[in-house]
Structures are given as C-alpha cells and as structure tokens.
Amino acid sequence: MSSHSITLDDLPRDGERLDLAKVSKLNGALLVVGIAGLAVSVLYLFGFLGAQKQAEFAYSWLFAFFFFFTLTNGGIFWTMLQHVSNSGWSVAVRRFFENLGANVKWMAVFALPFILIPGIRSALWEWIVEQQHAGSYEGLATAAKVNHHLAILVAKHGYLNITFWVVRAVFYFGFLIGIIGLLRKWSIQQDTDGDFKHTFRSRALCAFPMLIYALVVTFSAVDWVMALDYTWFSTMWGVYIFAGGAWGSMAFSIIALSYVRSQGYLKKTVSMEHYHVMGKFQLVFTIFWAYIAFSQFFLIWYANITEETRFYLLRNTGGWWWLSNALVWLHFVATFVILLSAGRKKTPNVMNWVCGWILLNHLVDIYWLIIPERAPSLTSGKIGEALGYHGEPLLWLSGAWVGDVAAFGGIGGICAWAYLRRLAKASLYPCKDPRLLESVSCTN
C-alpha cells in the first residue's frame, strides 16, 4: 500500500537457492554428530554391550525417534494446513514446513529397529512379550485365567497383535511419505513451470487426507508410546501428542528460518509479519497443549480409577515429580506469558530464544512420556526376570542416560543434516506460487 511496497519485480524470478558451501561448517558438524551418535547406537542396538544395555537403550532410541517423529509430523501438518486453508501469508515460509515434513523418510529408516530387532521390541512393549510367551490367542486366554492382569490384553488382542501392529506402522509411514512427497514435488514443479494447477491439486489432495493424517498421528502415538503400558489408556493421547509436535515443529521452523536469513537469504520475502503470525501459532499451541494436557490429567485425577492413575502416579514419584511440575510451569506458564506480547513475537532475536526454549520443553515432554517407563518395565515382569531383577521394581537405572544422549545425537544429527541439504535442493520459497506477493506483503 505504501509507496515502497514490494512487487514481484523486486524478487528474484527463480527464487533463492541456499548455497550449501556457505553452511558447510554447520552441516559438517551435524553429520559428524549424527554418525558418531549412530555408531554408538549401533553398539547398543545390536546388543554388543549386553542384553541389559540393549534393553535400556530401546527406550533411548524410542525417545529420540519419537521426539523427531513428532517434529517431522508437525512439518507435514503445517504444510497440509496451509494448502487446505488456502493460506496466502505462509507461502514465503511454506518450504520450511515441506522440507521438515519430508524428513519422514529418515524416520521410517530409524523405525526399522523396532520391527527388526526382537531385543529392542520386547524391551519396550510388554504386550509383545506376553503374546509371544502365550503363543496364540487361545494360549493368552488360558494364561489370563491364572494371571488376571492379562485379561485386558486378551480383550485388546484384536488391535494389539504383532501382524496388525506392523501393518499399521507400514501404513503410517506409507501415508506420511506419500502425502508430503507429493506436496513437495508439486510445489517444486511449480517453481519451474509456474502452473496454477499445482496449487489447486495440492489443496484438493489435503482436504480429505487431513482426516487420515489425524488418525495416523493418533494411532502411531497409541501404538508406540501409549502401548508401553498395555493396561493404560487415554482418549486424549493422540491430540496431546499432536499438539506438542505441531508446537515443536513450528519452533524448529522459525529457528531454521532465522538461520537461513542470517546467511543473507529471504531478506525481501520474509518480514516481521511472518514472525508475528508464526509466533501467534506458537502461543495458540502453547495454550492448546496445556488445555489437552490438563484435560487428560484432570479426568484421570478426578475419576481416580486404578488402571488410569498408574501413568501419573509413576510420573509423580521420586524425581519425576519435578519433571511433571516443569511441564506445568515451564512448558505452559512461562512460555504462555513470554508469548503474550506482540512486540516479542515480532522480534526475530527474541523469537529464536523462545523457540529454543520451546524445543527444550518439547524434549522434556517426550522424555517425560517415555523414559519413566524404562526402569519399572525392565525390573519387573518377564523382562525383569530375564535380566535378573527380582524384588521391587526400580524407578531409575543409573547410566542409561548415556544411551539417551547417543540416540538423540545420532537421529538428531542425521535429521538436521538431511534437512539442511534438502533446503538447498530447491528455492527457499515457492517462487511461482500465485499467492507469493500476497505472502510477501502480508500484514496482520
């Protein structure tokens, strides 16, 4: 509107390409961290350090895998949302979501140990151990007559059986890889041919599959994390995981955007208005996550039913109590208050710190979901017997954190390295998108 407003002539016709040579230092460091982490992880994963360490590491691997899986999933969600809502503002930053979502290929590779290595699988999911021990559904039903705890597993057999579990995992990854692959492919095709049809078919593609996406997020979270304790259930679970993932992935995208801008790119296409919009999404998802997290806690706390309270009892015992409180006061309250100010949301430097803080809190959230299950699971039941534990279940296994760091460095390093390389493969923004000008000059 003002006399100095940007027109398409001010922008490079073929977009801006990230020069990998410029970011080679960071990229090299990420690759080194990734390979070192994976090398250590392989020792753990294949049991070279013993069955005990392998079992402990199963949780480390799930923790690191799931953290990055939620971020990747969030990237897919944001891409689909921009298409399905025909968003104009987001065109300039959409490729950050697309490239983050496209990491899901790597997540599929990192998920292979869960399916292929029996030691990892049975350390995590007791229901698999119990079913294999019983041999068949009939065997399980017979065993349940003696051990009444198993009755719930008999009832859940239609869903929790290995064949269906593997088929579902394949479907989740097939769907996620397919949809983000298509969206990214069409978006990049448009960079060269400038055809509007890509915009329309992307929108058409996202509408109905948004429902499937919601189911995939929900049930993958149920299959891999909620099923760590097959007796526990919560209908809030899927949306809780989704809220955290969308929150973390937006934080990651803002940091990546700031990093790319610090290298001298996207100076004309991205303005403080984009930071403001993305910051608003951060605020919304801070509140949304807290709303869901509290609803889940509240209903279980109020109803006070034995099967349900176990989840929170464990996480309120010993040192875990501090982490539960950190989620309330740091994950929600502190972030909420920081993000209230419009001025802060419009200041990239502040937003970078806030987003780092958000990623840290998302990490704590995923850690808090998965790691508390490790010690009690491995020191009781059939796995505990196999590992030589007899007595009361433990709350904490000393030394297991080394595996957490290795797995996190391995998966994180490789994911970040692949992400940066992918950013460089095409223009940093969809340069022929029909809504580009609308996005560049967006105000709110």
Binding residues for another protein (CB under 8 A): 1-3, 294, 297-298, 301-302, 304, 340, 342, 443
Q: How far is the CB of 342 from another protein (least distance, A)?
A: 8
**Token representation of residue 368:** 């808090």
**Token representation of residue 96:** 């950050």
Angstrom distance (rounded) from CA 328 to CA 293:
9
Q: How far is the CB of 195 from another protein (least distance, A)?
A: 29
Q: How far is the CB of 290 from another protein (least distance, A)?
A: 10
398: helix, coil or strand? coil
The answer to whether 285 and 45 have CB atoms below 8 angstroms apart is no
Nearer to another protein, 301 or 353 (CB): 301
Name the residue among 16, 27, 91 with its Cα closest to residue 265: 16
59: helix, coil or strand? helix
Q: Is 266 left (phi over 0), alpha (psi -120 to 50) or beta?
A: left
Q: How far is the CB of 387 from another protein (least distance, A)?
A: 36
Nearer to another protein, 39 or 340 (CB): 340
Q: How far is the CB of 298 from another protein (least distance, A)?
A: 6
Q: How far is the CB of 64 from another protein (least distance, A)?
A: 31
Q: How many Å from the N-terminal Cα to the C-terminal Cα in the chain?
A: 14
Angstrom distance (rounded) from CA 207 to CA 181:
16
**Token representation of residue 400:** 């297991």
Angstrom distance (rounded) from CA 325 to CA 374:
20
Longest dimension (CA), the chain: 82
Nearer to another protein, 298 or 353 (CB): 298
Q: Could you give phi then psi for residue 17, rounded to 5 degrees?
A: -105, 130
427: helix, coil or strand? strand
156: helix, coil or strand? coil
Name the residue among 204, 265, 208, 250 with its Cα closest to residue 100: 250
Q: How far is the CB of 279 from another protein (least distance, A)?
A: 15
- In degrees, to the nearest 5, what angle opens at C-alpha 385 toward C-alphas 221 and 143? 70
Q: How far is the CB of 356 from another protein (least distance, A)?
A: 25
Nearer to another protein, 57 or 89 (CB): 89
Q: How far is the CB of 2 from another protein (least distance, A)?
A: 6
Q: At what angle do helices 162-193 and 197-207 cross, to 10 degrees?
A: 160
Angstrom distance (rounded) from CA 132 to CA 140:
9
Residue 408 Cα distances to 27, 319, 376, 425, 443, angstroms: 17, 22, 22, 26, 38
Nearer to another protein, 294 or 368 (CB): 294
Q: How far is the CB of 291 from another protein (least distance, A)?
A: 9
Name the residue among 245, 227, 244 with its Cα closest to residue 104: 245
Q: How far is the CB of 84 from another protein (least distance, A)?
A: 25
Handedness of CA 157, 372, 368, 148 (dihedral sign): positive
